[in-house]
Structure 1
Amino acid sequence: MRYSNYTIDIPSGATIREQIENRGMKQKEFALRMGLSENHISRLINGQVELTQDVALRLESVLGIPVSFWNNMEVIYLEKLKCIEDKDDMDIKK
């Protein structure tokens, strides 16, 4: 999660973490079901890697939440992140 004087952006990973916790899954089990490494899942949850179309498809398969939800969430996150970076840059130039 990243904060600015203007907005807060929450990576898709926060929602993924919430979903796997609500299902009583451990990260290791989730990684196995997703067919991804635990390291990649950790980085995804912590917002260190972008949520790709492939991952969105896997999330739909494992969690039952539509690809469109994940894609929209990622687009919104990246837009807010860019907005925060732009505003931070403007503040630095002042």
Structure 2
Amino acid sequence: MSGHVVWKGRRVAFRRGESLASALSVAGVRDLGRAATGQARAVFCGIGQCQNCLVRVEGRLTEACLLICKDGLVADPDDGGGHD
């Protein structure tokens, strides 16, 4: 393992070069929150096109499937908080 990210206060291990979506999936996390419409957020396309995996990192929305993990990164679900 290369390090840990923090998802909803829980440490999640990742391998070097792994996306946040991949690390969360390996850890058994499938639920990434809810969109403002109430639709469940999860990894769908895996290439950033659908934006269904939006999460909050350092106060900004980003696609979990495009974000490469860095040790100590803190991420949380958006839960319908809106766009930046």
Please, what TM-score do these two structures have when normalized by structure 1? 0.26
Structure that is richer in helix per residue: 1
- Larger Rg: 1 or 2? 1
Q: Which has the higher strand share?
A: 2
User: What is the TM-score with the length of structure 2 in the denominator?
Assistant: 0.28
